[in-house]
Structure 1
Amino acid sequence: MTAHLPRLNRRAFLAAAAALPVAGRAHAAQPALSVVTQAPFMVSGVAVAQDETVFLGMPRFAGMDNTYSVARVRHEGTPKAFPGGAWNAWRPGQDGTAAFVMVNAVHIFGDNTLWVVDQGAPPGQTPQPGAQKLVQIGIRNGQILRVLTFPDSIMPPGAQFNDLRLLGDLLFITDSGLGGIIIHNLKTGHTLRRLSGQGIMRNDNAHLHKGNGGRILRDVNGTRPQVQSDQLEIDPTGRWLYFSVPAGPLKKVWIADLLDPTLSDTAVAQRVRLVADIPSIGGTCIDTRGNIYLADAEHSRIVVLAPDNRRETLVQDHRLLSPDALFIDRARRLYIPCPQIERLPMFNNGVMSARAPFFVLSMPLPDQIRGIPLGNAVEG
């Protein structure tokens, strides 16, 4: 196996290739953003293995029909289909049960395996049975370790996997189609669907999904996106589940309440707490000090929201267009995919203005930002 080149060399090469200046800095001491990769297809998710290998999630949005959905970034910085073969070669009309169709998220937890969230059908289409799935992959050899699908009692028609987090043996997955949380025990195989369709899991239509400069996202007919429960994080104590729709606000609920069989969904919904109003976001991550990082799509920036509700801009840059699912690696680097999703026709008045290359950027986390101490990665 070819040895990894030093990270500094790779980033220096990519930064030179990008030849794009950093703009709109929040303050003079702000660390510079480096280019991790430039991809030919939209990248909405990024995950980094313990050996610093970078993996990408590449959704099959309009104009991205030939995407290979999941990629590993090679040493020189170019993405390559992963794990390879039929998994990366799906085309309309083909079987989607053993191929990536519409990848919405990727993540790596403490066990150093790659999890892929596949919604099973391009936007606006209905997934065939078994195509909507969660796939666990060995990062060294690309072996498919596990494929999880659920019956209609857990994922009824209209339900749509969005993102996932791990706490011990428990997988927590958001449903952005109907609104809800799926909790799957990897050890026992038992699965729960919680807060299904509850108002606190759905867009309230008072908080509007916006893009850069505060532009309200809508399609050619003026229809605004209706994305339900989307982002989720588990705090480092393992007690709270944070969640949000893209337009906000940010909320939290006791995990113990979600797991309590004596509490109905209505009872649990009444225990949900409001954390903060937030700008429209594409993604989040959380560190070991409980800071939540918000990918602010309205202002092309990353905002740190501290447990005491203080917030500060970590970085602001014109390349942070529709910043999406964030990831902190073991070396305390923050990774930011920039998929330009707000330029898709469904969000841009029917006009397709997203253009390759699609950037993934990164930066080292400082020890603190304006008095807010920053932590390490929460690995799950």
Structure 2
Amino acid sequence: MPLPSNIRAVMSRSALATILFAGLGVTSSSAWAVHMPKVPELSASALEPFTQSDKQVWDAVVMLPDGRAVLEAPIWVGNTGPQLSVRQTDGSFAPYPDAAWNAEQGDPSQRIVSTAGMTLLADGTLWVLDSGVPNHKADAVAPAKLIQIDTKQNKVVRVLPIEASALHKESIVSGVAVHGNTAYVADSGVAGVLVIDLPSASARRFLDRHPAISATRPITTPTGPVTTADGHLLAIDSSMIAVSPDGKWIVLQPPGGYLSRVETTIFTDPDVTPAAMEESVTQWYKTPSLGGMTMGPDGTLYWSDISTGSILSYTIGRIPRRLITDPRLKWPATPGLDASGHLYVPAAQLNHTAAFQNGKASVEWPVTVYKLTLPTTPPPT
């Protein structure tokens, strides 16, 4: 988550181009695997509106087993109102888990200050990441934290502050994945991965400023690279992260970067050397600019491609698929899966929000979450 986390002009167009061309000679061959097909498999009829808003920009959705949807409306892009909402099966909305946790004022340890990602576990636990940074051009106003919600009871059962020792002053946590008793959190303010032991709440930082998860490429939409108000290219460090169903691997990347894979045992190996840690990151696929990703229970990755308005997938066997390309998918963001073969994708239009438009939003209302019926057939040969 979601996409993004900080918005920074890190270099000029010419400087960035120099870095990109210089890096072409050192790209890992493992990243090439199979090229992404150019022709989508599904027609426009496979994509239908699921829900809409005329006042909030949603950048992530989680589908609960009972058919409800939890929607994230991050404050940093200019949203007002609840940062987490639940869409009931009758189509009505309510703050989630309740109004108090979505209050704009009050004890920051007892409310969502700046939602920055969420992940649902098989037992119905929803982990919500709060960066504590409601304005990504300013410092944090509250400590970062993880919020554990029991979606069956619709109540917060634990608040876990993230240790400040694992963060930098410029850190903006922005993506969370959980397996067993471990949470993996991406830092998009200063590239890195936080590994958090949930029972003890202890956090350790790894891959600090690692080039594979740092912003070195522009974020590109169908109309071209996204820039700041002064014309500089935007860059966001690692903000998307997922963990494999068996817990053996994490995958992560910046929105404009490439997908990297890391074996999780490296984080608990007492004998690992700094050099081995640096070399543990494998470039796993040369993705386009992404607005979000999620991993299915079989390990398949689903990507929202903002450069072409497409939904892509990537199997554990490293087979890429272009599922659909559709002009309605304007900056598709973090998708969510249900148990019936559907993917739910917010067309977030983030590049038209106030955060990307020097305070003057140009969002085309309503913002729509689309429901995509996934193919049941194997990829074309």
Out of 134, 138, 144, the position equivalent to 1:125 is 138
Q: Where does residue 154 of structure 1 map in the other structure?
A: 166
Query: Could you say if the C-alpha distance between residues 202 and 27 of structure 1 is closer, same or farther in structure 2, counting changes exceeding 3 Å?
Result: closer
2:65 to 50, 54, 61: 50
Contact kept in structure 1, 2:49 and 2:371, CA below 8 Å:
yes
In the alignment, is the contact (CA less than 8 A) between 1:327 and 1:336 conserved in 2?
yes
Distance verdict in 2 for CA 1:167–1:265, change over 3 Å: farther
1:73 and 2:82 are equivalent in the alignment: no
**Residues 173 and 265 of structure 1: CA distance in aligned 2, closer, same or farther (over 3 Å):** farther
Shift of 1:113: 2.0
Task: Report whether the alignment pairs 1:302 with 2:315.
Answer: no
CA distance, structure 2, for counterparts of residue 318 and residue 300 of structure 1: 6
CA–CA separation in structure 2 for the residues paired with 1:292 and 1:88: 30
- 2:207 corresponds to 1:195: yes
Report the equivalent of 1:60: 75
AA aligned to 1:43 is W
State the shift of 1:266 in Å: 4.3
Partner of 1:37: 51
> 1:302, CA displacement in angstroms?
0.2
| Bigger RCO of structures 1 and 2 (CA < 8 A, at least 6 apart) | 2
Structure 1 stretches of 5 or more lacking a match? 1-24, 373-380
**Cα separation, 2, equivalents of 1:210 and 1:161:** 22
Q: Which of 230, 242, 251 is the equivalent residue of 1:242?
A: 251
State yes or no: 1:209 paired with 2:219. Answer: yes
CA distance in 1 between counterparts of 2:78 and 2:112 reads: 17
Partner amino acid for 2:149?
I
Does the 8 A contact of 1:45 with 1:324 survive in 2?
yes
Q: CA deviation at 1:54?
A: 0.9
Residue 90 (structure 1) aligned with residue 100 (structure 2)? no
Contact preservation (8 Å) 1:44, 1:105: no
Deviation at 1:97, TM superposition (A): 2.6
CA 1:189 to 1:352, structure 2 compared with 1: closer, same or farther past 3 Å?
closer
**Which residue number in structure 1 is paired with residue 6 of structure 2?**
none
Residue 133 of structure 1 aligns with an amino acid whose one-letter code is K
**8 Å contact 1:221–1:349 — kept in the other structure?**
no
Distance 2:379 2:163 in 1: 48
Which of 336, 339, 347 is the aligned partner of 2:356? Answer: 347
Corresponding residue for residue 322 of structure 2? 313
- Is the 8 Å Cα contact of residues 108 and 115 (structure 1) preserved in structure 2? yes
Equivalent pair of 1:218/1:348 in contact (CA under 8 Å): no
Find 1:326's aligned residue among 313, 330, 335: 335
Question: What does the per-residue CA deviation read over 1:173-208, in whole Å, with 9 as the maximum and x for residues that have no partner?
Answer: 11111111111122343322111222222112xx21
Q: Secondary structure at the match of 1:248?
A: coil
Deviation at residue 351 of structure 1 after TM alignment: 5.0
Could you tell me whether the CA contact under 8 Å between 1:235 and 1:290 is conserved in 2? yes
Compute the RMSD of aligned alpha carbons. 2.3
For residues 47 and 220 of structure 2, the distance between their equivalents in structure 1, rounded to whole angstroms, comes to 24
Amino acid at match of 1:230: S
Q: CA deviation at 1:107?
A: 2.1
Assess, with a 3 A threshold, how the Cα gap between structure 1 residues 110 and 27 changes in structure 2: closer, same or farther. Answer: closer
The one-letter amino acid of 1:303's match is L
- Runs of 4+ off more than 6 Å: none
Number of aligned residues: 342
Q: Quick one: distance in 1 between partners of 2:304 and 2:141?
A: 32
Correspondence 1:175 to 2:187: yes
Matched, 1:292 2:332: no
Report the secondary structure of 2:227's partner residue.
coil
Identical-pair percentage:
23
Are the structure 2 counterparts of residues 233 and 42 from structure 1 closer, same or farther at C-alpha, using a change threshold of 3 Å? same
Please give the alpha-carbon distance, in whole angstroms, between the structure 1 residues aligned to 2:212 and 2:274: 11
Residue 103 (structure 1) aligned to one of 99, 103, 115: 115
1:260 is paired with a residue of what secondary structure?
coil
2:34 corresponding residue in structure 1? none
